[in-house]
Each structure stands twice: as structure tokens, then as C-alpha cells.
Amino acid sequence: MWQILTFVAQFYLIGLFGVTIFAIGTTMRSLWLLRQLVQHDGQESTVAFSKLAWRIHFLRQLSGLAFLVFGVVLANEVFASLRTVQLSDMSLSEYRPQRST
């Protein structure tokens, strides 16, 4: 299946897998940090909560960007498919090569 994808689609899928792995890792670290913050109270927890909020905000922006890029890549692939169907409208059986004499 990998061979039928265009280069742009392959590049996007590799990037999407990378973003997914990064998001899972960041989410796991954030949850671990939140678990640690619940156990401890103090001035340091305020700074840690703001850092946690920044991480979550960054993940939200990253997933929004990945969604927008998905829309661009999907539109490109759909229009390329439609163009291919439109250009393949001419049947090859109707094509008669001219004989050179």
C-alpha cells in the first residue's frame, strides 16, 4: 500500500506518526507531572502547573496544525485523483496510431 501513495502523502504520514509519538510522550510526561503535583503542595507547584498548562496548550496547537495540514494533503490528493480520472476519460481503444509511409 505504501507504493501507491504519492510522495507528499508518504511525507505527511511519516510526519503524522512523528507528531503522534511526540504527543503521546508529552501527554505521558504531563500526566506523570500532574500526579507528582497532586502529592506535593507549595510554591513550586504553581510554577509546575503553569508549565503543565503550557505543555497542554502546545499540544492543542500542534494537533490543530496537524489537522490543517491533513486537510491540505487530503484536498491535494482528491484533486489529483479527480484530474487523473478526467484525463483518463479517453479510451485507448479509440486511439488509432497513424501509419508512417
**Within its chain, how far is the Cα of 18 from the centroid?**
9
Q: Give residue-wise pLDDT tens across range 53-101.
A: 899 999 999 999 999 999 999 898 889 888 887 777 666 666 566 666 5
DSSP annotation string for 58-70: HHHHHHHHHHHHH
**Mean pLDDT over residues 47-53, rounded?**
84
**Mean pLDDT over residues 22-48, rounded?**
82
Phi, psi at 21, each rounded to 5°: -65, -40
Does the pLDDT at position 45 exceed 80?
Answer: no
Q: Give residue-wise pLDDT tens across range 17-34.
A: 999 999 999 999 988 888
The residues spanned by each domain of the chain are 9-85
Residues near 19 by Cβ (< 8 Å), separated by ≥ 6? 62, 63, 66
**Within its chain, how far is the Cα of 8 from the centroid?**
11
- Cα distance between residue 25 and residue 10, in whole Å: 23
Please give the model's pTM, rounded to 2 decimal places.
Answer: 0.68
